[in-house]
Structure 1
Amino acid sequence: MGELYALDFDGVLCDSCGESSLSAVKAAKVRWPSLFEQVDSALEDWIVEQMYIVRPVVETGYENLLLVRLLLEMKIPAIRKSSAAEGLTVEGILDNWSKIKPVIMEAWNENRDDLINLFGEVRDKWLETDLNSWIGANRFYPGVPEALKFASSKLYIVTTKQSRFASALLREIAGVNFPPERMYGLGTGPKVEVLKQLQRKPENQGLKMHFVEDRLATLKNVIKEPELDGWNLYLGDWGYNTGKERAEAASIPRIHILELSDFSKKMK
């Protein structure tokens, strides 16, 4: 029996937190210029540092913009436009992001599609004007480029990142020209629906199916779908998740905790 691997991108293949955080700061300055008038480089550096801590809550890239502004409102009370920032800590963001996000979206009168478009435009501009520094803000996890190049399994990428950015990183850093027809990026639907599509494809019939993800919430969504009972589920412990999430995952029989070295071996 052959093997099929559906792979998340950010937090499984690529550590993109540096780039996504810097892009979010650039985009936030465009979206809310008046809020950033009193932000110096030291405060920007602090925001980017905190973004590494809160990164596990991000499902789709535009949320990075919300987090940048929320961290800024936490630091500078005078500019607060949402009560959600009052008394909030990074631990509070990690524990309650799903409740905080709709509150701040409404308080700031923000639109998801507008933020997605802005985030993509800012990344495009950075990529076009300074490709080297954009590439340099990302890195693939050790062993991953080689594993992708020499994998004997059938590979798909299932990500909430816009496909053009994932493809550029694979090409420029990993040296991998990934087939576009096997890349399911932002706009192709929820991951559970993509997994259903993959298992229905005639050419995938009879393959043993594996899904590698770094977000516990996504794996729990898969478990809720009886149609996806045939998938082997893995939480990458090197990705954007917390010790608390890894402990919870270890208590769920369907989910295997995967280490990076084992992941690279499986792929090869």
Structure 2
Amino acid sequence: MAAVALLAARPAPAPGGPARKAGPLPAAGWRVRPHSLRSVPPPGVAGRGGARAARPTRAAMGGCDLFALDFDGVFCDSCGESSLSAVKAAKVRWPWVFERVDAAMEEWIVERMHTLRPVIETGYENLLLVRLLVEIQIPSVRKSSVADGLSIQEILENWSKLLPTLMDEWQEDRESLVDLFGRVRDDWLENDLSGWIGANRFYPGTADALKLSNSELYIVTTKQSRFAGALLKELAGVDFPSERIYGLGTGPKVKVLQRLQEMPQHQGLTLHFIEDRLATLKNVIKEPALDKWNLYLVKWGYNTQKEREEAGAISRIQLIDLPDFSKQLK
């Protein structure tokens, strides 16, 4: 469809109460440029030409660095997949809202989602953004008090305030949206693996940096772990240990970092945390117990020029570009 053609052609952007049952998931309606993939081997069985196992860590070899690494916006540009999955999930959640949404409007929504991606902390928020964009365009389906006249820039600047307002006015709950977003992604992955994988991409050089690193590496992400693991294996070609992926449900990132630094095997290591969200790094700075962490904001992820400039004025945070990232992981 037009939205997917847009994704394939556009350049990379600069820089989830009890779950209620939803209706049946729609058949995959998007077609993404084919991606060369092996079939997924059974658990514990290496496929022919399969993903490369992680190299021995520097700690095991007498090294001294530990890296906690965000996933989306650091390794993986998942905005195409998350935006398309959000449209699918939003259609299931609020079918009456999407009765008048045609292909052209879906294309407009996906385009705006690329611009709005920096405000997303957890995947389910994509669904709320998708519905908000529809309410901005179609007054007859409007149920929120904030949509009338709301601009994209105002969303970027005020999302932390808009989010709880929308959740309240639409009578939504976080866990229900998280569950739906995960099920839609699972359905897409199961029925169209190459299409799901192909809607993602790794930033240039990051997969190689991961493969070649001898440091102690952990993924610390708000993405559900199974999706991060699938992308690492099928797109980056790395069998990254699942026990080293701290995904959605493992606790706030500040708590994960504290757990990592307290592990006996990590004592004496130099600690590094690499993120693309300035707000997350600010939360780390607020915790005195995390003062030992060296903090980095990537220049290529889901953040804005204004945020990068703000980070540059904070002595605790180092800005890092792609070439330096590869050197840092050693």
Superposition pairs for residues 1-268 of structure 1, below 5 Å?
2-268=64-330
Distance (Å, rounded) in 1 between the aligned partners of 2:288 and 2:124: 30
What CA deviation, in whole Å up to 9, does each residue of 1:209-240 have, x standing for no partner? Answer: 00000000000000000000000000011000
Distance (Å, rounded) in 1 between the aligned partners of 2:312 and 2:144: 36
Distance (Å, rounded) in 2 between the aligned partners of 1:141 and 1:47: 23
User: Under a length normalisation based on structure 2, what TM-score does the superposition of the two structures give?
Assistant: 0.81
Structure 2 alignment gaps of length 5 or more: 1-62
Task: For residue 167 of structure 1, report the CA deviation from its aligned partner.
Answer: 0.2
1:57 alignment partner AA: V
Distance (Å, rounded) in 1 between the aligned partners of 2:276 and 2:264: 28
Distance (Å, rounded) in 2 between the aligned partners of 1:215 and 1:89: 22
Distance (Å, rounded) in 2 between the aligned partners of 1:164 and 1:264: 25
The size of the alignment, in residue pairs, is: 268
What CA deviation, in whole Å up to 9, does each residue of 1:71-115 have, x standing for no partner? Answer: 111111121100111111110011000000000101100010000
Matched residue SS, 2:250: coil
How much identity, in percent, do the aligned residues show? 69
Task: For residue 65 of structure 1, report the CA deviation from its aligned partner.
Answer: 0.2
1:211 alignment partner AA: F
C-alpha RMSD over aligned residues:
0.7
User: Under a length normalisation based on structure 1, what TM-score does the superposition of the two structures give?
Assistant: 0.99
2:252 alignment partner AA: P
Distance (Å, rounded) in 1 between the aligned partners of 2:228 and 2:72: 9
Task: Decide which structure has the larger Cα Rg and report it.
Answer: 2
What CA deviation, in whole Å up to 9, does each residue of 1:101-159 have, x standing for no partner? Answer: 00010110001000000000000000001001000000001001111111011100000
Distance (Å, rounded) in 1 between the aligned partners of 2:303 and 2:274: 13
Matched residue SS, 2:68: strand
Runs (4+) of structure 1 moved beyond 3 Å? none
Matched residue SS, 1:203: helix
Distance (Å, rounded) in 1 between the aligned partners of 2:205 and 2:181: 29
Structure 1 alignment gaps of length 5 or more: none
Matched residue SS, 2:239: coil
1:47 alignment partner AA: I
